[in-house]
Chain A
Amino acid sequence: MARVLLNIPRTARKGEVIAIRTLIQHVMETGYRPGADGEVLPRDIIRRFTASFEGEEVFAADLSPAIAANPFLSFTMVASTTGTLVLRWQGDKGFDQTETREIMVTG
């Protein structure tokens, strides 16, 4: 499991636009760099990120090797109801990681 840093408010007012910030530990090997033996290292990147709230997609991203190592992604969502935010990263070499966070909406 790769380490993940998430900055997501635990509570929000109804209708408020909240910022979601995510960072995941990953080399994002571009597939263009030579390794210590001079051979080009095979590509190993996270290709897709999705964020869904209560089963509905809020934000999705398709990443290229031009995204820096330890991909950082920030976006926003409307706090509509109390529920679960599911974040999922998928990539090369079968990389697949999911994190969930509860967001409580008041008012």
Chain B
Amino acid sequence: MMAPRRLLLAAPALLLLPRGSRASPEAMAEAVRGFTGGAEIRPGRVTLEISPLVENGNTVPLSVSVESPMTEAEHVRAIAVFNERNPQPHVITVHLNPRAGRAMLATHIRLATSQTLLAVAQFSDGSFWSDRAQVVVTLAACVEG
């Protein structure tokens, strides 16, 4: 008799959870598949730079550079950054071509909590390369008011 009533009492609390589902390693894998179309991703050629210990998750400098000559024959077409535990798995996607000269990007991002970040680069030959970084966040962003 008690158990169902407790469940009923708990139901409103469930509704108070953040709107939509939070990103998870599975949601990130799904977003990455959306970028690669299911192609194999190899580690290497990409360098994801971010401070391993972040005090304020509201603005975290992040940079990605990719080894590539950036010629017509061989260049990086796109770089995408994903996260595991923000409300959404996608962070940024940039589109490049040989006119960029170098395959690099720098920006400032938000981190909701300590997590792993993944940068994936798409090369002109259709291959995908990646780098990961673990970040510890002491003051979170995104969810708090």
A residues contacting B by CB (< 8 A) are 17-18, 21, 30, 32-35, 40, 53, 56-69, 71-78, 80
Interface-facing stretch out of B37-45, B100-108, B129-137 = B100-108
With A32-B87, A34-B145, A74-B104 given, can you name 18 additional A-B contacts, CB distance below 8 Å?
Answer: A18-B101, A33-B143, A58-B99, A61-B95, A62-B93, A64-B88, A65-B88, A66-B88, A67-B91, A67-B92, A68-B110, A71-B108, A73-B106, A73-B107, A74-B63, A74-B105, A75-B100, A78-B101
User: In the complex, which residues of chain A have a beta carbon less than 8 angstroms from the beta carbon of B88?
Assistant: 64-66
Question: What's the minimum C-beta distance from A75 to chain B, rounded to whole angstroms?
Answer: 6
**Contact status B97-A72, CB under 8 Å:** no
**Contact status A66-B109, CB under 8 Å:** yes
Question: What's the minimum C-beta distance from A8 to chain B, rounded to whole angstroms?
Answer: 14
User: In the complex, which residues of chain B have a beta carbon less than 8 angstroms from the beta carbon of A75?
Assistant: 94, 96, 100, 104-106
B residues contacting A by CB (< 8 A) are 18-20, 58-60, 63, 83, 86-88, 90-102, 104-111, 141-145
Partner of A74, one of B58, B90, B106: B106
User: In the complex, which residues of chain A have a beta carbon less than 8 angstroms from the beta carbon of B92?
Assistant: 61-64, 66-67
Question: What's the minimum C-beta distance from B29 to chain A, rounded to whole angstroms?
Answer: 17
Partner of B107, one of A34, A65, A74, A77: A74
* A/B interface sample: 12 pairs, CB < 8 A: A30-B142, A33-B142, A33-B144, A58-B100, A61-B92, A61-B107, A62-B94, A64-B90, A66-B142, A71-B107, A71-B108, A78-B98
**Bound-state Cα–Cα, A56 to B102, Å:** 16
